[in-house]
Amino acid sequence: MKKPLVIEDLIEGESDQLSQDLFDGLGDLRADHDEFLRGVKQRIGEEPETSEPLAAEESKPQAILKLPMFVQRAAAFFPPVLLPHGMIKIGFPVGSKVSAKILPGVMLFPALSIAMVLLTFALGLRAVMGGKKLGQRQNEVAARDDSKAWWRRYWLPSLVMMIGIVWMLFHAPNDALTLLVCFSTLVFLGVYASLARAGLASRQEVAKRATAAMYWLTGISLQLSVPDTFAGRDLSGAWLVPLVLLFGGRVCRQLGNLGRRGKGSVAGRSWIVMDVCFTALVLAIHFGPVGKMPTSLEDVNQWLSSLDDTSQINQVQLVVSNMETAGELSFDSKTMKAAAKQRLDKEILDGSFNFLYAAALMELGCFEEEHYGALANPEAIGRYTRSATPMAANAEHLLPVLMAELHLGSISMEQREAIAGRVIAAVDPGYKYANSKDLFYAVRVLDVLGLSDRATELQSASDEILRATWVLENNEEESAFATYSTSLVYDETGLARADRLTFVWGHSTAQSIWIMNRLGVPQWMSARDLTVLDAFLARTSRHYGMMGINEFDAEPAAAQALLHTLPEWKAARAELVPTILGTFYDLRALLAAVLLAAFSIILTWMAPEEGEEAVSPG
């Protein structure tokens, strides 16, 4: 039973009616005392968890993720306190408590930027369709004073907007770029309306301000959107933004020069040269060697063929394994084997070789007979088979010794079964440091033992470990598998979320996809989960063309190739057919730029020459 809530009076003589009102109003939101205490004990390990609450918790994120995406985005606009209790229950099947906490959600930025695009479109149409019938004049001083007056009136909201955009650059850059362009459009429309009311919106004045705005934005967007990443984030189609703005500024400037031919011809030619240089720069950065570009499978094979450094051989082995399984491996290992032999001859002789690299080198065919002898340890195999205690996350250390013994001699089937049983038992999904590496090496041990069919015994553990390390980006555009679950922050729905997915998770993600290929894609992974996982791999595999690729680029590229061979991926692509709304969402920054350029050109064209009458378009 819930205990009554008592708030001490801060004003002497005040009654306790306030306490009673708060208790009655917030009763459904307060945790039960016994339930809360039990949860705290479970969290600190004093009381074992029960299976029923866990099952209930696991259902929450699935119910939320099944909601239509437009519902999740629209819900971001409404603080939960403004929604009727019944509406929350009907719209969100996980229950009002969970729904109320997630409603503001991570979709606020995309929803806000999309709303700004629509608002820009509506206000732009209003400006275009509401032409004034006032005489316009050319007075640069008066026009400048009028513009200053507009900024004095709206400086505070403009400052707040710009601060918000700068902050968003590091959290949702695509939305920040969209808001920046939309805000600039609204400022232009506001200044234009002010000039029109003052009789100063001549073609030359409108063109001057439109051109200045778009050229300024061209420089800003050039830094943010070319190539398609900012701070490691993907900006779909955003490399076209500076080109659209540059084109719009160029047209507006030419319209402003109509009727003034013969003036400033040298300056006009210099502007043309500058426009051409800007365009060439955008295209060179995006498509040339100084920009980031996707890592192709051919790039990966060429990199493997020229690899003469085995310091990251475990990552190389995973790249080769994923490429081979995907049917995309075709490289010459001569250079890599020569480098490996040189390293083995030196480090095994002086005793400095790290045997955790041995399994990868053996699987890549880099070991020779004298190298196997250095790893032989029949006593270790005997200890593994005699002990009844599960090997605590020791498959990684066992694998090279086991491979050496199998190459040099023989291990009985009884010993193999004993080792396999211990390896499987050692994979504990409840262990706080359980991760994909445990599964990865356990399956590899079973493979070298010739007991690959027993890997199916790890499917349940695989589902739990992959679920625990699954991380969804706050804007839900990317997702990956973290190295450990202990470093993650989980939301109220039980999902791990992060502001930014680090490229360091590329290795654990590549291992996890290797595991899914062997043990199956977990049932909890939806088609959209696979899509955002693919987006993470696509982004982290991009490399600077002038620098070539390394293991951090090759690993996600190979993992993506393997992901695309999974039947679940092919089903996901068939299920998630692109829609008009989805395309609008992906290209929101580009659409905002198109609106700015279009309205600027139209309003400049509509504006009269000095002394002419402005004619309403109607």
State both tokens at 145. 């004073």
- The model's confidence at residue 444, banded by pLDDT at 50, 70 and 90, is very high
pLDDT value for 68: 46
Same domain, 117 and 28: no
- Taking residues 427-441, report their average pLDDT: 90
272 within some domain: yes
124 within some domain: yes
Same domain, 130 and 34: no
pLDDT value for 166: 78
- The model's confidence at residue 52, banded by pLDDT at 50, 70 and 90, is very low
Domain coverage including residue 589: 108-293+583-606
* Long-range CB contact pairs, 486-493, < 8 A, 24+: 486/432, 486/433, 491/102, 492/60, 492/98, 492/101, 492/102, 493/60, 493/61, 493/64, 493/94, 493/98, 493/102
Angle at 312 between CA 330 and CA 537, to 5 degrees: 65
136 sits in the region (left: phi over 0; alpha: psi -120 to 50; else beta) called beta
pLDDT value for 23: 55
Residue 228 pLDDT greater than 80, yes or no: no
Same domain, 244 and 113: yes
115 within some domain: yes
- SS3 label, residue 448: helix
In DSSP terms, 479 is beta-bridged to 472
Tens of pLDDT along 10-42? 444 444 555 555 555 555 555 565 666 666 656
Taking the complete model, does pTM exceed 0.75, yes or no?
no
Residue 341 pLDDT greater than 70, yes or no: yes
565 within some domain: no
DSSP state of 308: -
State the total domains in the chain: 3
Residue 47 pLDDT greater than 60, yes or no: no
233 within some domain: yes
In DSSP terms, 548 is beta-bridged to none
219 within some domain: yes
- Cis-peptide, bond into residue 93, ω within 30° of zero: no
Tens of pLDDT along 372-421? 888 877 777 777 776 655 554 478 888 988 898 888 877 888 888 888 98
Exposed/middle/buried for 422, CB within 10 Å: 0-12, 13-18, 19+? buried
Same domain, 30 and 137: no
Residue 609 pLDDT greater than 80, yes or no: no
Tens of pLDDT along 467-491? 999 999 877 788 999 998 888 888 8
301 compared with 245, residue with greater pLDDT = 301
Same domain, 124 and 168: yes
Same domain, 17 and 165: no
Same domain, 42 and 160: no
182/115 Cα distance (integer angstroms): 10
385 within some domain: no
Of 180-184, 275-279, 307-311, 437-441, the poorest mean pLDDT is in 275-279
Same domain, 34 and 171: no
Share of the chain above pLDDT 70, in %: 71
Return the residue matching tokens 């020569």. 338
> What integer best gives the mean pLDDT of the chain?
76
pLDDT value for 100: 35
Same domain, 175 and 264: yes
551 compared with 134, residue with greater pLDDT = 551
Tens of pLDDT along 525-557? 998 899 999 999 998 998 887 788 999 999 999
Same domain, 25 and 120: no
| Radius of gyration (C-alpha) of the chain in whole angstroms | 32
255/124 Cα distance (integer angstroms): 19
State both tokens at 363. 């699987």
192 within some domain: yes
Alpha helices in 103-139 (DSSP H): 108-129
Residue 181 pLDDT greater than 90, yes or no: no
- The model's confidence at residue 286, banded by pLDDT at 50, 70 and 90, is low
Same domain, 262 and 227: yes
546, 551, 552, 553: CA torsion to nearest 10: 50
Task: Give the pairing of strands 229-230 and 233-234.
Answer: antiparallel
Residue 43 pLDDT greater than 60, yes or no: no
Same domain, 75 and 136: no
